[in-house]
């Protein structure tokens, strides 16, 4: 954890003062605000690997004196706005769990909240722009409700440049904390509430594992972390800096959580990690990998088990062998490729070639012929030529993904790719994205079309967002399907015949009893 605090005076021309400094915190005065900096992010420290041992801390999350904090002086409400990936969604569930244990009640309307948290994403610039826009809007709310506590957490808080910008332009923020110290939320809340100072505590450590934090899950689907962090350091990606080193939870802790979720009746689990295929590599004296973990989870009574995200480099034969056993392991693999050109993959430091990736796809399809593959693709990486981009198109044609997330490359401060020369004009990047999306849509439509007339197993999620007369659900392969039925079916597995496959959604009709030929869908 960084105790060295930076010199912020250069941002505030004269109107900056150090009030006090000791080993616990530094207090500074900036225009309109006193700030308590307990620790702050450092790009330099976030790059380091292997110097710190991972500690597993079995935490009792809520300090005794905070257990009623949400009810002191009247009922208090919290609101968390979440950006980014499922890891963030799940962190939000943990923070919600902590708020509820402190006696707070969740509120959707943020103008009614006593505490608002922005759980942020740093993966691309537009994600950050959105948060800064929202923080700007919060100024008015803060003027109307001076006791409102406004917090920024998640990946953006781990960035030096973000903390600097908040200090300069958004001094109405009350708490900044990072991805490694979520469990410190109650303490930081207390500090900000009583001191009225802005409190900054961002640890740049490689990362520990905090067990036993409360979680407020919703619905019949649950996320379960199996590992944290990433050591891959793909040259475009900020995640290894914001989330720390790869560290696996112990198998017995994961299994205990999964058993408990099964006991509570959850219908679907998603195992989470930035690179789930590296699960177990850091567990000393244990020859135990992701395939072994899935093989154990397979025998636990939860109808569907998914996982995200895979890295092609660590996707081994043992894993394919276990996935081919199916059961509750669904026939859907999200396998980010990023580019179809070996030279670009090399410059991205993905550590596999086009051929290696295609060979892996071949092996997976041989073992699981009805598998649905989805992916992530970046276009316009620095220096990407038209020919190199065409390799991405031809790879998409070869694999025929059912769905893909496609992005224009976004430079991230502190990453190696941000230093690379980029001669691809934005107009060209946009045009490539359009061409790629046209192709991807074609295969999405084709993949759905193949299900016409088939009967698929569907987990009913509830009324469709746009039409309350229709139910929405997901197939085992995570395809969205709409059909007419009783709302009471929500949370159950049903069978639906696909009548009208479209690009983004399947439309079908409920069938009473499953037929002999059930497609996995």
- Name the site residues for ligand 5AD (rule: CB under 6 A): 123-124, 236-237, 336, 338, 376, 378, 407, 409-410, 412
For ligand 5AD, the closer of residues 148 and 337 by Cβ is 337
Taking alpha carbons only, the member of 340, 333, 288 closest to residue 315 is: 333
- Range in contact with ligand SF4 (rule: CB under 6 A) among 69-77, 190-198, 231-239, 287-295: 231-239
Residue 232 touches which of ligand 5AD, ligand SF4, none (CB < 5 to 8 A by kind)?
Answer: ligand SF4
Q: Per the structure block, which two tokens stand in for 27?
A: 């207090």
Q: Which of 316, 259, 248 is nearest to 283 (CA)?
A: 248
Q: Are strands 227-228 and 247-248 parallel, antiparallel or unpaired?
A: antiparallel
User: Which one of ligand SF4, ligand 5AD, none is in contact with 115 (Cβ closer than 5 to 8 A by kind)?
Assistant: none
Query: With binding defined as CB under 6 A, does residue 334 bind ligand SF4?
Result: no
- Is 121 one of the binding residues for ligand SF4 (CB under 6 A)? no
Among 230, 364, 373, 399, binds ligand SF4 (CB under 6 A): 230
Among 239, 254, 293, 372, binds ligand SF4 (CB under 6 A): 239
230 binds, among ligand 5AD, ligand SF4, none (CB under 5 to 8 A by kind): ligand SF4
Nearer to ligand SF4, 120 or 187 (CB): 120
Q: Using the 8-state DSSP alphabet, how is residue 13 labeled?
A: T
Specify the pairing of strand 105-106 against strand 77-82. parallel
For ligand SF4, the closer CB: 230 or 455: 230
- Which residue matches tokens 């943020």? 110
Look up residue 347 and give its two tokens: 């410059």
Of residues 142, 245, 311, 474, which one binds ligand SF4 by CB under 6 A? 311
Closest distance to ligand SF4 from the beta carbon of 491 (Å): 32
The Cα 403–Cα 445 span in angstroms is 9
Instruction: Out of 124, 232, 245, 412, name the contact with ligand SF4 by CB under 6 A.
Output: 232
- The CB-of-174 to ligand 5AD minimum distance in angstroms stands at 29
Q: What residues have CB less than 8 Å from 512, skipping those under 6 apart?
A: none
Q: What is the CA radius of gyration of the chain?
A: 24
Of 41, 43, 50, 53, give the one whose Cα is nearest residue 209: 53
* Min dist. Cβ of residue 242 to ligand 5AD (A): 11
Q: Give the DSSP per-residue string, 193-222.
A: HHH-SEEEE---SS--EEE-------TTEE
- On whether the CB atoms of residues 117 and 110 are closer than 8 A, the answer is no
Specify the stretch interacting with ligand SF4 by CB under 6 A; choose among 237-245, 286-294, 401-409, 459-467: 237-245
Tell me: does residue 132 bind ligand SF4 (CB under 6 A). no
Minimum CB distance to ligand SF4 smaller for 179 or for 328: 179
In what helix (H) or strand (E) does residue 90 lie, and over which residues does it extend?
A: helix 86-101
Residue closer to ligand SF4 by CB (options 42, 275) is 275
Number of DSSP helices (H) and strands (E) in the chain, helices first = 13, 25
Residue 344 interacts with ligand SF4 (CB under 6 A)?
no
Q: Enumerate the β-bridge partners of residue 480.
A: 474
Let me know: does 354 contact 313? Beta carbons within 8 Å: no
Chain residues in the site for ligand SF4 (CB under 6 A): 230, 232-234, 237, 239-240, 274-275, 311
């Amino acid at each position: 954890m960084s105790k060295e605090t930076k010199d912020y005076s250069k941002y505030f021309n004269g109107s900056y003062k150090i009030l006090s400094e000791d080993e616990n915190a530094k207090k500074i005065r900036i225009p309109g605000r006193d700030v308590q900096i307990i620790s702050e992010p450092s790009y330099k420290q976030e790059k380091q690997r292997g110097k710190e041992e991972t500690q597993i801390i079995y935490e009792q999350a809520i300090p005794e004196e905070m257990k009623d904090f949400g009810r002191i002086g009247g009922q208090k409400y919290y609101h968390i706005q979440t950006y980014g990936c499922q890891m963030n969604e799940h962190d939000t569930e943990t923070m919600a769990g902590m708020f509820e244990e402190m006696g707070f009640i969740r509120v959707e309307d943020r103008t009614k909240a006593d505490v608002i948290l922005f759980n942020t994403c740093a993966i691309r610039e537009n994600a950050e722009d959105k948060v800064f826009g929202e923080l700007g809007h919060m100024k008015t709310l803060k003027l109307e409700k001076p006791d409102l506590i406004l917090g920024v957490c998640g990946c953006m808080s781990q960035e030096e440049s973000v903390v600097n910008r908040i200090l300069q332009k958004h001094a109405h923020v009350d708490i900044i904390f990072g991805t490694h110290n979520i469990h410190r939320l109650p303490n930081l809340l207390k500090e900000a509430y009583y001191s009225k100072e802005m409190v900054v505590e961002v640890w740049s450590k490689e990362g520990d594992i905090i067990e036993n934090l409360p979680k407020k899950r919703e619905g019949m689907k649950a996320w379960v972390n199996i590992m944290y962090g990433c050591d891959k350091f793909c040259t475009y990606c900020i995640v290894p800096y914001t989330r720390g080193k790869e560290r696996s939870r112990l198998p017995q802790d994961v299994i205990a959580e999964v058993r408990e979720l099964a006991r509570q009746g959850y219908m679907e689990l998603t195992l989470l990690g930035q690179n789930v295929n590296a699960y177990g590599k850091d567990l000393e004296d244990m020859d135990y990998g992701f395939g072994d973990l899935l093989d154990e989870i397979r025998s636990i009574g939860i109808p569907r088990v998914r996982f995200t995200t895979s890295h092609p480099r660590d996707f081994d034969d043992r894993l394919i062998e276990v996935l081919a056993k199916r059961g509750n392991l669904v026939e859907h693999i999200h396998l980010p490729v990023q580019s179809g050109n070996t030279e670009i993959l090399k410059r991205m430091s993905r550590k596999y070639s086009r051929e290696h990736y295609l060979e892996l796809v071949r092996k997976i399809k041989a073992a699981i012929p009805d598998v649905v593959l989805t992916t992530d693709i970046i276009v316009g990486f620095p220096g990407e030529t038209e020919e190199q981009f065409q390799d991405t198109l031809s790879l998409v044609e070869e694999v025929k993904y059912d769905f893909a997330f496609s992005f224009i490359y976004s430079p991230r401060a502190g990453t190696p790719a941000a230093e690379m020369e980029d001669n691809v004009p934005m107009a060209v990047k946009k045009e490539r994205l359009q061409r790629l999306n046209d192709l991807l849509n074609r295969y999405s439509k084709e993949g759905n079309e193949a299900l016409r007339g088939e009967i698929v197993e569907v987990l009913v999620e509830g009324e469709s967002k746009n039409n309350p007369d229709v139910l929405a659900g997901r197939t085992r392969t995570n395809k969205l399907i709409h059909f007419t039925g009783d709302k009471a079916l929500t949370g159950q597995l049903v069978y639906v015949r696909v009548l009208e496959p479209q690009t983004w959604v399947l439309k079908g009709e409920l069938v009473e009893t499953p037929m002999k030929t059930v497609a996995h869908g």
